Structure 1
Amino acid sequence: MNILVVYAHPNEDSFNNAILDSFKQKISAHHQVKILDLYKDNFDPVLHFDKDNKRRDLKDSPSTQKYRDDLTWSDHLVFIYPIWWSSMPAILKGYVDRVFVKGFAYEYKGVVPVGLLPNKTATVITTHDTPNIYARIFQQDYGKVLKKQVLKMCGIKTTRSITLPFLRNTDENERNFFLNKVSDYAETL
């Protein structure tokens, strides 16, 4: 299987980086894996519209061609990122805005969106600092925008979501348990 890991965290010493390392260490050598670290790649998240950059032409933009090629190549996507302000980091949002574009990732038949990336699956691995009970009851969409509003619309089925809530209040045992959970998942792919 071709697996594209999309990683979005600016700190190499972060717990999210430990998650990425745990995943990479346990993923089977039977798979082809590409890691896209949006920060290391210096991905430009800014979407430009002007007379030279029309929205309808984003599907053909040379500046995002390699990212579209990686998506086309992949069978399975793994997103690893923290949830900040109830959402993904801005660099990941910019990646979605510039790469998952109309004519490439989706189109409309009348008013109904139709995904153009079928037969692909995804896993979303997140961390956040909000107590779990608050995130589940008061912010029911917490961290689910990627899964429900982006991937689903593009025809990609999210098969697994793994979240570590209230990261700032976890101890070493809880963090190791979570890393083992990610490692176990990577081994099952």
Structure 2
Amino acid sequence: MPGKNVLIVYAHQEPKSMNGSLKNIAVDVLQKQGCSIIISDLYSMNFNAAATRNDITGELCNPQHFRYGAETMEAFKKGVLCEDILKEQEKVKVADLIIFQFPLYWYSFPAIMKGWIDRVFVQGFAFDFPGCYDTGLLKDKLALLSFTTGGTEEMFSKDGMRGDIRMA
């Protein structure tokens, strides 16, 4: 991947954690391959995970009935999303590969990462209709989920509590 731009969206509050180690290894390996790395360390950034009216710096389309998806789509088109969202969207724009590094909490992302996805991947920037999935706005980007489970191998096996985690 020489010359590629990599964004690592990292969501763990402890730098010495397994997730922190995996992030550091990814940085080392990718830099040795000639990649440029940008890290969004959501906890150290104190990233605001709450999707609210405050994400829009301009006037709302319908201030009497706030609909986050519709309002942020229009705000994106008008260039009036708040600064922290715009900064993260710029990182996504230049990235060839986006790595999401996180611990699995209740079979999902941590809330801070979910908030990053909700606030950054707004309609018009990350997707639009009918252009979704393989024809979507981010179709030329690669994404990698790298996560720890905090559970035993048996918990995530075929006969485990929730079945094989590798199965869709």
TM-score range, shorter chain: 0.7 to 0.9
Letter in structure 2 aligned against 1:127: T
State which structure, 1 or 2, has the greater radius of gyration over its C-alpha atoms.
2
Give the aligned CA root-mean-square deviation in angstroms: 2.7
Q: Deviations over 1:113-148 (max 9, x none)?
A: 65111211122111012333432445358599xxx8
Give the deviation of 1:103 after TM superposition: 0.7
Q: What residue number does 1:20 align with?
A: 23
The answer for unaligned runs of 5 or more in structure 2 is 54-59
Letter in structure 1 aligned against 2:40: L
Secondary structure of 1:109's match?
Answer: coil
User: What is the alpha-carbon distance in structure 2 between the residues aligned to residue 42 and residue 124 of structure 1?
Assistant: 22
Letter in structure 2 aligned against 1:135: F
Secondary structure of 1:71's match?
Answer: helix
Does structure 1 conserve the Cα–Cα contact (< 8 Å) formed by 2:19 and 2:101?
yes
Change (3 A) 1:43 1:24: same
Greater percentage in helix: 1
Q: What residue number does 1:95 align with?
A: 116
Q: Percent identity?
A: 28
Change (3 A) 1:143 1:57: farther
Match runs of 1:154-165 below 5 Å: none
Give the deviation of 1:82 after TM superposition: 0.3
Say whether 1:62 aligns with 2:85: no
User: What is the alpha-carbon distance in structure 2 between the residues aligned to residue 71 and residue 132 of structure 1?
Assistant: 33
The answer for unaligned runs of 5 or more in structure 1 is 149-189
Q: Which runs of 4+ in 1 moved over 6 A?
A: none
Match runs of 1:36-185 below 5 Å: 36-49=40-53, 51=63, 54-59=71-76, 60=79, 61-63=81-83, 64-109=85-130, 114-137=135-158, 138-139=161-162
Does structure 1 conserve the Cα–Cα contact (< 8 Å) formed by 2:102 and 2:147?
yes
Q: Matched residue pairs, number?
A: 144
Q: Deviations over 1:147-169 (max 9, x none)?
A: x8xxxxxxxxxxxxxxxxxxxxx
Does structure 1 conserve the Cα–Cα contact (< 8 Å) formed by 2:19 and 2:102?
yes
Say whether 1:2 aligns with 2:9: no
Question: TM-score of the superposition, structure 2-length normalised?
Answer: 0.74
Change (3 A) 1:139 1:101: farther
Give the deviation of 1:12 after TM superposition: 1.8
